[in-house]
A and B are shown apart, each in its own frame.
Chain A
Amino acid sequence: MSHKNLPWPELHRPTRLTQLAGNVDAIRELKEWVRAWISGSPNRKAALLIGPPGVGKTASVGALSHDYDLELVEFNSSDKRNKGSIENQVWKAATQQTLDGRLRLLLLDEVDGLSGTSDRGGVGAILKIIEETVHPIIMTANDPNSPRIKDLLKICKVFRFEPIEPNEMVGVIREIALAHDSLFSDEVLEGIVDKAGGDLRAAISDLETLSVSGRTSDEGLPSRDVRREVSDAFGRLFMTTDPETAKRVISELDIDYNQLLLWLEENAHLHLTTPEELDQGFEYLSLADLSLGRIWKCQNWKLLAYVYDFLAIGMSTSRKITPYRIVEYSQPSWPMLIWRGNREHDKESDFLLQIAKIASVSKNRAARTYKDAILEIVRQNPGLKDVFSNWLEIKKGFFDERSSRR
């Protein structure tokens, strides 16, 4: 295996902090956090880097270990990470000194990828190690809403990594192209970046694909930005009144039916503006949804063809009066709403659990008998907020949100 043969995203993985692109603030704070460790006084023993793929989370950890001469030990989700193996291996690495007395930097990559079944107890074990560690621990995750990192968020210093700015990405891939004697026009480089949607690793990989396959344009390169892809398709779907075209648009769209349904639910009203149009459009959406429900219930996959037809033809033919116009489509919001609802529920659940403990009743009974009374007391005497929140060991904000809602 020659070094040259590595895929470009690996070949050009940044090894020093100065080589990293984007996320300047997060990286600066991360540096300060590591320096605090080196001088022996970290305020939080573990850091959690959260951000979408390909924005430099893992790369910045590698660069930190290089720049500050730390011994890097990595545990990722390709290793088994259940309670036992974390307590055993990670604990050893976290609590024992290195041979040469350097600090060791522990990287627990992809903690939101801890498996629910085969990594059982993993998070609990990590929490315990964070308490006892004598070395800095850095974790990475993509999904800030993952239930698996809920407890980690509380005790870690959190660093948010954002998608990298397009102009910065163009600069990076231009240099890489030069290093490989590949010449691309600025237009093509911008096209690659545009389609990568803030994911630098994807952009480098796409650059490699174009370069190695000898193409000179980014045409035919699939977009990695779901939102953009869906927007293009919806534009064509609602512009046409021809059912064949509508069907083709939907069949070429590379997202699955569940997501398609959500996207349409969120955006159909932008094109179907009269009550009749809206009624008809949503009737078809509802039929598609019904068919999906039946598919799941009876495992009768033959009905799937109807789902697509209800969506494609139903949507495109429902627009009768409203002229076609170009609109901005938005991402489905209800998965987000459910998540928020669950979080509300969690907070409420903490509150009720405390009351239940103190009053020795069930949570249900606490909700029925104590909740409204306590909320009312606090509403009448806002000064008691502190008293109650201390007593119930919950955040003060809990009462603010609830009293303002009335």
Chain B
Amino acid sequence: MDLDLWTEKYRPPTLGGIIGQKSIIESLTKFVQNRNVPHCLFTGPPGTSKTTAAMAMARDLFGETFDRNFMELNASDERGIDVVRNQIKNFARIMPAGDAPFKILVLDEADHLTADAQHALRRTMESYAGSCRMVLICNYSSRIIPPIQSRCAIFRFARLSDSSITERLKYITKKEKISANAAGIQAILYLAEGDMRAAINLLQASASAGETVDDKVVFAIAGRANPKAIKEMLDSVGENYEESLEKLRALIYQQGVSPVDLARQLHREVLKLNISENRKMAILERTAEAEFRIGEGASGEIQLSALLAHIGLERGES
């Protein structure tokens, strides 16, 4: 089973298995108990259990008839008005199978539906409410037209806390019989930024090397620098520019971190520096500029060297 994707393998099949989002899961569980689900709109950043919650709710509700009463459409693949007028309407108008009270249609990435398609959806939601309930999933509810929002119960999913992600990662390491130390988990948390999917993918990739998952492996797999190395580079920049330049080159050429990723990590570390907010913002401005120039084809090393020089100036004056 080595080919399994852990994000799918460990996707909790039931609402009870979902970590975090406590009050939302409580509400959904009650919906299942009462066998009545309103049209729902799940919004929130990626990797915060939105799709998992929608599927788990349907599975809890339907049991054995899940396959016949559940459909998932990814709206970013099929996002035109014809999808709504054909596929969705055809699914929604047919009565549920077995003893299910209604069917459930999950529209993933619903904010990618064109405005026209969203308009076409609104009466379908009402006309066939008896036979089908919809769960719309998106990152920002503001991209869903107001008449649709008006027809939905809205649930906002927050970024997952580090402790929730840690809990899940530890569970997976136990099941997969791999070893991961605290520094490794910490590194995954740093890179995942509250995104469970990213965290699990990173864990699987790191574990595939067959060694203990520690911070070194994780950062190497992700192609990122250890934040410690970035911090050291920033610390030496004021007094000894050459030294920090050497560190920069080591990161680019020895560890193979791409300059764009380095710029992003610098961005993150700069905000933690102990200098005035104005200076931070001045550095940030330069960082954004450097990242843009690199994107335009400028040399990463030169741009980052220049950025370091500027950071040295800002730090030296403070």
Q: Which residues of A contact B (CB under 8 A)?
A: 1-2, 5-10, 52-54, 76-80, 109-110, 112-113, 115-119, 142, 199, 201-202, 205-206, 208-209, 212-215, 220, 222, 224, 226, 241, 243, 251-252, 254-256, 259, 284, 287, 291, 294, 298, 300, 302-303, 305-306, 309-310, 313-314, 317
Is there an interface contact between A53 and B150, defined as CB atoms closer than 8 Å? Answer: yes
With contacts A78-B120, A78-B121, A314-B281 taken as known, whether A212 is within 8 angstroms of B85 at the C-beta atoms is: no
Q: Which of B119, B292, B296 contacts A110 (CB 8 A)?
A: B119
Is there an interface contact between A317 and B85, defined as CB atoms closer than 8 Å? Answer: no
Which chain B residues lie closer than 8 Å to A8 at the CB level? Answer: 38
Q: Which of B31, B38, B130, B271 contacts A205 (CB 8 A)?
A: B38
**What are 11 contact pairs spanning A and B, CB under 8 A?**
A53-B146, A109-B123, A113-B122, A115-B119, A209-B38, A224-B149, A284-B281, A303-B295, A306-B284, A309-B271, A310-B288
Docked Cα-Cα span, A241 to B129, in Å, equals 48
Which chain A residues lie closer than 8 Å to B149 at the CB level? Answer: 53, 202, 224
Nearest chain A CB to B133's CB is how many angstroms away? 7
Is there an interface contact between A117 and B116, defined as CB atoms closer than 8 Å? Answer: yes
Docked Cα-Cα span, A44 to B226, in Å, equals 72
Docked Cα-Cα span, A310 to B292, in Å, equals 15
Nearest chain A CB to B268's CB is how many angstroms away? 9
Is there an interface contact between B288 and A291, defined as CB atoms closer than 8 Å? Answer: yes
Which chain B residues lie closer than 8 Å to A215 at the CB level? Answer: 27
Docked Cα-Cα span, A142 to B150, in Å, equals 12
For window 123-160 of chain B, which residues contact chain A by CB distance below 8 Å? 123-124, 126-127, 129-131, 133, 140-143, 146-147, 149-156, 158-159
Nearest chain B CB to A88's CB is how many angstroms away? 16
Is there an interface contact between A243 and B271, defined as CB atoms closer than 8 Å? Answer: yes
Which chain B residues lie closer than 8 Å to A317 at the CB level? Answer: 277-278, 281
Docked Cα-Cα span, A322 to B281, in Å, equals 20
Nearest chain A CB to B153's CB is how many angstroms away? 4
Nearest chain B CB to A212's CB is how many angstroms away? 5
Is there an interface contact between B30 and A214, defined as CB atoms closer than 8 Å? Answer: yes
With contacts A254-B142, A255-B140, A306-B288 taken as known, whether A115 is within 8 angstroms of B116 at the C-beta atoms is: yes
Docked Cα-Cα span, A2 to B102, in Å, equals 10
Decide if B95 is an interface residue (CB 8 Å cutoff): yes
With contacts A110-B123, A252-B158, A306-B267 taken as known, whether A287 is within 8 angstroms of B141 at the C-beta atoms is: no
- How many A-B pairs with Cβ below 8 Å? 176
**Among the interface residues A6, A113, A251, which one has the most CB atoms of the partner chain B within 10 A?**
A113
Decide if B82 is an interface residue (CB 8 Å cutoff): yes
Nearest chain B CB to A52's CB is how many angstroms away? 7
Docked Cα-Cα span, A208 to B154, in Å, equals 12
Docked Cα-Cα span, A214 to B31, in Å, equals 9
Is there an interface contact between A1 and B101, defined as CB atoms closer than 8 Å? Answer: yes
Is there an interface contact between A5 and B123, defined as CB atoms closer than 8 Å? Answer: no
Is there an interface contact between B101 and A118, defined as CB atoms closer than 8 Å? Answer: no
Q: Which of A78, A199, A287 contacts B85 (CB 8 A)?
A: A78
With contacts A117-B116, A222-B154, A254-B156 taken as known, whether A212 is within 8 angstroms of B31 at the C-beta atoms is: yes
Decide if B49 is an interface residue (CB 8 Å cutoff): no
